[in-house]
Amino acid sequence: MFKFDRKFILGASAAAAVAMLATGCFKSGDAAAPSASNGDNVLTYANGKRVIDGGRYYATVNGKSGPYYVNTDTENGGYTYGRTPTANELEAWNTTVTPWRLPPKGQGTAEEGEAVYEAKCVMCHGDFGSGGGGYPALSKGNAYDNVKTLKFQRVTADAEGPIRVFGNYWPEASTLWWYIMEGMPHPDTRTLTDDEVYALVAYIMNINEMEIDGEEVDYEYVLDQEKFAKIVMPNKDGFEPVIDGANGLENVRAYFADPANFGAQKIASADERCMSNCQKETAKVVPITIEQKEFIPPLSEVRDLPEVENTAGVDLEAKNTYESSCAVCHGAAGMGAPVFGDKKAWAAVVGKGMDTVYANAINGLNAMPPKGGTDLPDDKFKAVVDYMISQSK
Amino acid sequence: MRNEHSQHDAENVSAERRSFFKKTAALSATAIAGAGILSGTRAMAEDDPVIMNTPDWGHKIGYPVTKNRYGMPSPYEHNITRRNAQLLSSGNWQASIAMCPIQDLSGIMTPNGLFFSRCHGGIPTINPNEWRLMIHGLVEKPLVLTLEQLKRYPNVSRIHFVECPANGGPEWRGPQFNSIQFAKGMMSNAEWTGVYLKDILKDLGLKPSAKWMLAEGIDSSHMGRTVPVDKVLDDAMIVWGQNGEALRPEQGYPVRLLLPGWEGNLCVKWLGRLEFAAEPFYAKEETAKYTALKPTGKAIQHFYANEVNSIITNPCPEKPWTDLKKGDLVEIEGLAWSGMGTIEGVDVSFDGGNNWVEAKLKGLVLPKSWTRFSFMYKYEGKPLILASRARDDAGYIQPTIDQETAVMGVESVYHRNGIATWEVTAEGKVNNVQVRS
């Protein structure tokens, strides 16, 4: 009886397996059918809407999404992990400022903003937000005139290109408030007060020669929450598609449904692509004219043993501190700080006498924050100064 | 290590055996002094000494398994490394990029230590025990998860590329880098493990008014990006695994967002917060950066998928054909990828794109993943202009540079996927060139 059953079961399951194989083949062939792949059906989601980015959607068919098997039992929800955030937690983390969520109450003038800027921003973003040394410019003069540059194309090396700074390019001022609060100053973010951020925004508007509600943002202009709400950026309408409002997503969908909007090319089937004589008579080979070759480390395909870094006599703790706390300013030119490894610059520093140098660096000197912004004990901090000097001889 | 070893021996090996070891040690010591052991046969001038002699590693015992508990590549591979350029930095190395040496990779997986790396406020060292994910906004039930809790969700693993939309961006006006690593190395491909966001959201009750999701990082830049809910409910993943191990700090340890096929910048690293809203958020990377300015003066503000693209990796400027002889059979190989679907085919051209022949795909062909292509070629020692042109199953095909710039101009910075070309000189050197009318 048992034997018989077993045989029967075996036989039945083998038959079932064969049947499954057959239907499996048939069905997967169906789902993968390459000829259908350019058809519209795969460019829509299960709800019939076009895929938002203009690409493919891989529905789960017969337990597979594209080439991947899926355990569809995992897709039904019912998970009880985690907990509800408290009201305080939600508030603490939700510091986002958007066109539909004003910054907290506060105020500041452009003049106050300039003082903060000179203390905390100028070393990277340059005088009056001019940028330089690779750091982004925050202004290039009159925002309204600069909007007109957006159609410029830099076709030759000496031609003028478009200016893309806050004043003439950004669509919303909320972004500036949010970003300065959350992302600047670069070496130590989330350290500014609300009033300081209002003041900095006023200052940056001032150097971009901008207006709020017809009024010029001059030195004395007091920017507060109410006035902030009235800012209209000069290039507000400079973006496509329109993402705001009830039709935002549909506008994006329609935009990416048309390859002509974003420089893409589509073909109805592989046979449509050009295979011979595809180029214009005027086609020519353009070589590199201005070659960039400052690669770090230099390109090399050589297989050899690396040079062993000589760490004898190097204070590794000081080296680590230098890399994490000082390199941001001392690592490259442009910050006004003596550059690590620059023998001449450091010889001049050491020339002042080490007592002076330690004192300057501990107490701060112009754009050099006290102890470089660290809270190291004096001896540890001095070891970092010594390390920097020893590596710049 | 040596000491550790002899101690081990002392404990486990009989005195007899020990004396044997001592003798061999003495023997190898003499061998070290010379340049390896000569084979019995007398070597002739035409014999290769590395075949005729036994090198050190062929007779000297190697290092023990107790060393390198987390393995490292051979020291001989030290030149296979990420590389930087000041030109690609915003002032300092904490707002910068490290390029992936795609010329040196095989197959489709990028080793974690070579994965391209981009950051806006440096790379944070996050304590995973103090990591939290908050999901809130237009959901019925907001949620906070610890890492342990997140990893309790059933996981999926998917192989996808991540590409910075500025990959190739410095070359809109013409070629600048005689290097594939710098011309196309702002991308890598990995197997990512995590959970589909839609599976978490099932229990949170996404409100019908929710149209956009803010993804925000907890690093010092607190980078945010706005994602349409369509993608969130399609294939967006919250991932903690990269090629079988934890994400590397450079890729967002402990957790990042992964939007398969979409701009790397949108795949927010060091993820901490997801907020759903009815209106978009206008984050910093949706303003002066990561928007594509067209010659009309209008910019594409939200630009999502990296379009179909390809590059020949062999040969390339770093891997020339200078060692080939006329008549050698050589494999032309490359990578193709599309953020909009699966690669369907790749053509190669020897005359800069005037005439094309179809290459073969090889290995795994997966959606939104690097895909290898291959073409066997008999080297003639003649100058060539090599090009590749990929197409995907959404119907897209790579545009020529002319077709692309006709719409996008040369100032858009992002999403450049025009056909790339290498010049192969008569000597087999390879140079980055472009074909334009």
Q: How confident is the model at residue A24 (pLDDT cuts 50, 70, 90)?
A: very low
Listed by number, the residues of chain A in 363-392 with a beta carbon closer than 8 Å to a beta carbon of chain B are: none
Inform me whether the pLDDT recorded for A20 exceeds 50.
no
Interface of A with B in 12-41 (CB under 8 A): 34, 37-38
| Per-residue pLDDT tens over the stretch B203-239 | 999 999 999 999 999 999 999 999 999 999 999 999 9
Chain A closest-CA separation from residue B297 CA (Å): 4
Q: Which of residues 295-324 of A touch B (CB under 8 A)?
A: 295-297, 299-306
* Alpha-carbon gap, residue A45 to A51, rounded angstroms: 6
- Which whole number is the average pLDDT over B90-108? 95
| Inter-chain residue contact A287 with B431, CB threshold 8 Å | yes
Q: Which residues of A touch B171 (CB under 8 A)?
A: none
Predicted pLDDT at A325: 87
Check CB contact under 8 Å for A263 and B78: no
Question: What is the token pair recorded at B131?
Answer: 């990591």
Q: Does the pLDDT of residue B401 top 70, yes or no?
A: yes
- In one letter, which amino acid is A125? H
- C-alpha distances out from residue B42 to A38, A219, B22, B47, B48, Å: 67, 90, 30, 10, 12
Point out the residue among B134, B174, B300 whose CB comes nearest to the CB of A286.
Answer: B174
CA distance B12 to chain A (A): 35
One-letter amino acid at A136 equals P
Partners of A144 on chain B (C-beta within 8 Å) are none
* Contact across the interface for B434 and A302, Cβ inside 8 Å: no
Shortest CA gap A2–chain B (Å): 39
The residue that leads in pLDDT, B13 or A161, is A161
A41 confidence band (pLDDT: 50, 70, 90): low
Residues 112-131 on A with a CB inside 8 Å of B are 124
Q: What is the mean pLDDT of residues A76-101?
A: 96
- pLDDT at residue B346 greater than cutoff 80: yes
Residue A132 to residues A56, A262, A379, B65, Cα–Cα distance (Å): 42, 31, 35, 51
User: Could you say which DSSP state residue B171 is in?
Assistant: G
ipTM for the assembly: 0.90
Q: Which of A115-124, A319-328, B170-179 has the lowest mean pLDDT?
A: A319-328
Cβ separation B411–A71 shorter than 8 A: no
pLDDT of the residue at A336: 82
Q: What is the pLDDT of residues B272-320, one digit of tens each?
A: 999 999 999 999 999 889 999 999 999 999 999 999 999 999 999 999 9
Structural domains for chain A = 100-228 (1.10.760.10), 316-390 (1.10.760.10)
Angle between helical axes of B2-12 and B15-33 (0-180°, round to 10): 150
Nearest to B136 among A90, A186, A280 (CB): A90
Q: Do A270 and B437 touch (CB under 8 A)?
A: no
Report whether pLDDT(A98) > 50.
yes
A358 touches chain B (CB under 8 A): no
pLDDT of residue B39: 65
* Residue of chain A minimizing CA distance to B356: A275
Please name the residues in contact with B1: beta carbons below 8 A apart, sequence gap of 6 or more. B63, B64, B66, B67
Q: pLDDT digit string (tens) for B244-283?
A: 999 999 999 999 999 999 999 999 999 999 999 999 999 9
**Which among A43, A256, A328 has CB closest to B94?**
A328
DSSP secondary structure string for all residues of A140-200: -S-HHHHHGGGG----STTS-----SHHHH-S-SHHHHHHHHHH-STTS-S-S-HHHHHHH
- Report the residue count for chain A: 393
Which chain A residue's Cα is nearest to B101? A299
Using a CB-CB cut-off of 8 Å, the residues of chain A touching B179 are 295, 299
DSSP B97-114: EEB--GGG--SSPPPGGG
Residue in chain A closest to B123 (alpha carbons) equals A324
More confident residue, A54 or A317: A54
Q: In this complex, how many residue pairs, one in chain A and one in chain B, have their CB atoms less than 8 Å apart? A: 407
Listed by number, the residues of chain A in 73-112 with a beta carbon closer than 8 Å to a beta carbon of chain B are: 74-85, 89-90, 93-94, 96, 98-100
B174 to A55: CB separation less than 8 angstroms, yes or no:
no
Across the interface, which of B214, B385, B415 has its CB nearest the CB of A285? B385
Q: Is the pLDDT of residue A13 over 50?
A: no
Contact B136 A75 (CB under 8 A): no
pLDDT exceeds 90 at position A36? no
Cβ partners under 8 Å of residue B7, min gap 6: none
Interface contact flag, A274 B356, Cβ < 8 Å = yes
Across the interface, whether the CB atoms of B395 and A267 are under 8 A apart is answered: yes
- Whether B28 has a pLDDT exceeding 60, the answer reads no
Q: Could you say which DSSP state residue A322 is in?
A: I
pLDDT at B140 over 70: yes
Residue A309 has pLDDT above 90, yes or no: no
Q: Which residues contact A262 (CB under 8 A, 6 or more apart)?
A: A255, A256, B292, B300, B303, B307, B407, B408, B415
List the single best residue of A42, A79, A290 to mutate versus B (max B Cβ within 10 A): A79
Instruction: State the Cα–Cα distance between residues A347 and B367, nearest whole angstrom.
Output: 57
Shortest Cα distance from B28 to chain A (angstroms)?
Answer: 22
Please, which contacts does A134-138 make with residues 24 or more away whose CB atoms are closer than 8 Å? Answer: A134/A332, A134/A334, A134/B86, A134/B89, A134/B90, A134/B91, A134/B92, A135/A334, A135/B90, A135/B91, A135/B92, A136/A165, A136/B90, A136/B91, A136/B288, A137/A165, A138/A165, A138/A166, A138/A204, A138/A207, A138/A208
Q: What is the C-alpha separation between B238 and B131, in angstroms, rounded?
A: 14
Give the residue-averaged pLDDT of B147-165. 98
Q: How far apart, in whole angstroms, are the C-alpha atoms of residue A247 and residue B134?
A: 28
Q: Which of residues 40-69 of A touch B (CB under 8 A)?
A: 42-43, 45, 49, 51-58, 66-68
What domains can be seen in chain B, in order of their start residue? 10-58 (no CATH), 90-291 (3.90.420.10), 309-433 (2.60.40.650)
User: Is the pLDDT assigned to residue A345 strictly greater than 70?
Assistant: yes
Range with the poorest average pLDDT among A216-230, A372-386, B3-17: B3-17
The verdict on a CB contact (< 8 Å) between A301 and B104 is yes
Tokens of A37: 């792949």
Cβ A291–B177 below 8 Å, yes or no?
Answer: yes
Across chain B, what does the average pLDDT equal? 92
Q: Does A284 touch chain B (CB under 8 A)?
A: yes
Inspect the interface and report whether the beta carbons of B407 and A261 lie closer than 8 Å.
yes
The nearest CA of chain A is from the CA of B49 a distance in Å of 18
Q: Which residue has better confidence, B312 or A332?
A: B312
Q: How close does chain B come to A15, measured CA to CA in Å?
A: 31
Angle at B53 between CA B52 and CA B58, to 5 degrees: 125
Confidence of residue A10 (pLDDT cuts 50, 70, 90): very low
Test B298 with A84 for CB contact under 8 angstroms.
no
More confident residue, B397 or B17: B397
A353: left (phi over 0), alpha (psi -120 to 50) or beta: left
Express each pLDDT in A178-218 by its tens digit: 999 999 999 999 999 999 999 999 999 999 999 999 999 99
Distance of residue A281 Cα from the nearest chain B Cα, in angstroms: 8
Predicted TM-score of the model (pTM): 0.85
- Among the listed ranges A14-18, A322-326, B166-170, B198-202, which one has the minimum average pLDDT value? A14-18
Q: What are phi and psi of A66, to 5 degrees?
A: 55, -130
